């Protein structure tokens, strides 16, 4: 029987009612007491790493999670992390960069209702997560509502319903039916994982709105090493408002700028319209293509934690990690 480590970080799944609303109160041991049938699936041991609402999870906590898995990697066959849903997609993406090519499953799950509530989704999600962690499912994934989603492709798309997560621009890795995992895709892995222990958190995100000018971009770039701009449609920036000069100036100063899209599906393509063509072909901004914003944020933090060399940053950004980017093809660059 497989040995699985349950790592608790808090979230709705571990919450109870307090005078100020739901708050994480339960331990990993408390969660296991609600699902005794797990003993027939795998042997579980527990670590209570954190007990936070996921709104309070930061990159520092991502590093703690990765370090915990690294310290226990040789002792267990798989790992399950309970986590709040609100930032779970960011954590899944971050762990995909901090722990690469893992032959062992690293599964994140949580719930939309606490485990002690009637009609909760906690018990099935947690049970499914242990099933996946006990199978041949390498790498980082989210298991939620009977779906297995690649860690670099997940996004929370519903705030209340049980079908909280969607896989963006990539198929589900599998589904669970009547307690059986139907695996569609097996992630690539190596004989041993590659761990990283550094992140540069000076990465900012700007959501473009009609009529915006460069002032906010200047503000963010002055205080950060990289800026991700969520543009409209396939991508571009307004010709008015000084954006082109802003990008040119800060890129010359060594800042990293990435253009992505606010549209969830199908990705960016800066070369299509005039408003994006010059950014790509003259200034050489990086383009996210079909990556999720969550993955772009985490990947830039990981890259800039290793290097600030422009060529190396571009090479690493366009090198796929856990299928986080499919377009352009590997090695094609910008």
- pLDDT above 90 for 138: yes
3-7 average pLDDT score: 98
Please report which confidence band the pLDDT of residue 281 belongs to, taking 50, 70 and 90 as the band edges.
confident
Whether residue 333 has pLDDT greater than 80: no
Annotated binding site: 54, 85-86
Check whether 42 has a pLDDT greater than 80: yes
* 78-82 sheet: strands from edge to edge: 43-52, 3-10, 78-82, 105-109, 139-144, 147-150, 174-177, 180-183
Please determine, for residue 332, whether its predicted confidence score (pLDDT) is greater than 60. Answer: no
Residue 275 has pLDDT above 50, yes or no: yes
Task: Tell me which of 12, 82, 91, 152 is the catalytic residue.
Answer: 12
80 pLDDT band (50/70/90 cuts)?
Answer: very high
Peptide bond into 328 cis (omega under 30): yes
Tell me: pLDDT of 331 over 80.
no
Q: Where are the alpha helices (DSSP H) in 225-268?
A: 243-252
pLDDT-above-70 percentage for the chain? 98
- Whether 57 shows a pLDDT value over 50: the answer reads yes
* Start-end of H helices in 82-240: 88-98, 122-133, 215-223
How far, in whole angstroms, is CA 122 from its chain's centroid? Answer: 21
Taking alpha carbons only, the member of 217, 288, 294 closest to residue 255 is: 217
pLDDT band for 144, please (50, 70, 90 cuts): very high
Residues in the chain: 334
Phi, then psi, of 163 in degrees rounded to 5:
-85, 65
- Does 18 qualify as catalytic in the annotation? no
The CA distance from 251 to 286, in Å, is: 11
What would the DSSP string read from start to end of 235-282?
Answer: ----SSSSHHHHHHHHHHTT-EEEEEESSSSS---TTSSHHHHHIIII
Tens digits of per-residue pLDDT, 293-311?
999 999 999 999 999 999 9
Per-residue confidence (pLDDT) for residue 280, from 0 to 100: 84
Catalytic one of 9, 28, 82, 85: 85
Tokens of 299: 């990947």
Would residue 85 show up in a list of annotated catalytic residues for this protein? yes
- For the cut 70, the answer to whether the pLDDT of residue 65 exceeds it is yes
Confidence of residue 249 (pLDDT cuts 50, 70, 90): very high
Least confident of 17-26, 89-98, 179-188: 17-26
Q: What is the pLDDT of residue 184?
A: 97
Q: What domains lie within the chain, and their CATH numbers?
A: 3-195 (3.40.50.1170), 203-318 (3.40.50.40)
Instruction: Give first-to-last CA distance, the chain, whole Å.
Output: 47
- Other CB atoms closer than 10 Å to residue 147's CB: what's the count? 19
Mean pLDDT of 149-153: 98
143 has pLDDT over 90: yes
Per-residue model confidence (pLDDT) at position 328: 62
51: closest CA among 74, 84, 76, 21?
A: 84
Give the angle subtended at the CA of 324 by the CAs of 297 and 91, to the nearest 5°: 45
Angle at 60 between CA 54 and CA 62, to 5 degrees: 60
Q: Which residues are annotated as a binding site for substrate?
A: 54, 85-86
Per-residue pLDDT at 45 exceeds 80: yes
Average pLDDT over residues 251-273: 95
The residue-averaged pLDDT of 144-149 equals 98
Instruction: Report the chain's mean pLDDT, rounded to a whole number.
Output: 95
Return the structure tokens found at 253.
């100063």
- pLDDT for 327 equals 74
Q: What is the mean pLDDT of residues 260-282?
A: 92
């Amino acid at each position: 029987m497989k040995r699985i480590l349950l790592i608790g970080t808090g979230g709705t799944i571990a919450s109870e009612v307090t005078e100020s609303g739901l708050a994480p109160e339960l331990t990993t041991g408390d969660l296991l007491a609600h699902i005794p049938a797990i003993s027939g699936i795998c042997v579980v041991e527990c670590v209570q790493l954190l007990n936070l609402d996921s709104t309070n999870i930061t990159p520092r906590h991502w590093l703690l999670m990765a370090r915990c898995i690294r310290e226990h990697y040789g002792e267990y066959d798989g790992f399950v992390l309970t986590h709040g849903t609100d930032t779970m997609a960011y954590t899944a993406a971050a762990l995909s960069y901090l722990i690469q090519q893992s032959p062992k499953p690293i599964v994140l799950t949580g719930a939309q209702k606490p485990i002690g509530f009637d009609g909760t989704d906690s018990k099935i999600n947690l049970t499914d997560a242990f099933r996946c962690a006990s199978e041949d499912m390498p790498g980082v994934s989210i298991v939620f509502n009977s779906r297995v989603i690649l860690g670099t492709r997940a996004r929370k798309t519903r705030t209340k319903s049980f079908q909280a997560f969607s896989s963006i621009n990539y198929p589900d890795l599998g589904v669970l039916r009547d307690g059986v995992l139907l695996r569609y895709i097996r992630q690539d892995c190596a004989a041993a994982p590659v761990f990283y222990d550094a992140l540069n958190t000076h990465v900012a995100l700007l959501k473009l709105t009609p009529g915006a000018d460069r002032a906010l971009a200047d503000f963010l770039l002055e205080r950060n090493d990289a800026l991700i701009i969520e543009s409209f449609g396939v991508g571009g920036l307004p010709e008015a408002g000084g954006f082109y000069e802003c990008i040119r100036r800060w890129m010359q100063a060594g800042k990293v700028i990435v253009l992505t899209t606010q549209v969830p599906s199908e990705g960016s393509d800066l070369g299509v319209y005039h408003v994006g063509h010059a950014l790509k072909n003259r200034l050489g901004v990086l383009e996210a293509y079909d990556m999720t914003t969550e993955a772009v944020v985490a990947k830039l933090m990981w890259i800039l934690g290793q290097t600030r060399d422009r060529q190396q940053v571009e090479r690493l950004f366009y090198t796929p990690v856990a299928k986080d980017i499919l377009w352009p093809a590997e090695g094609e660059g910008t």
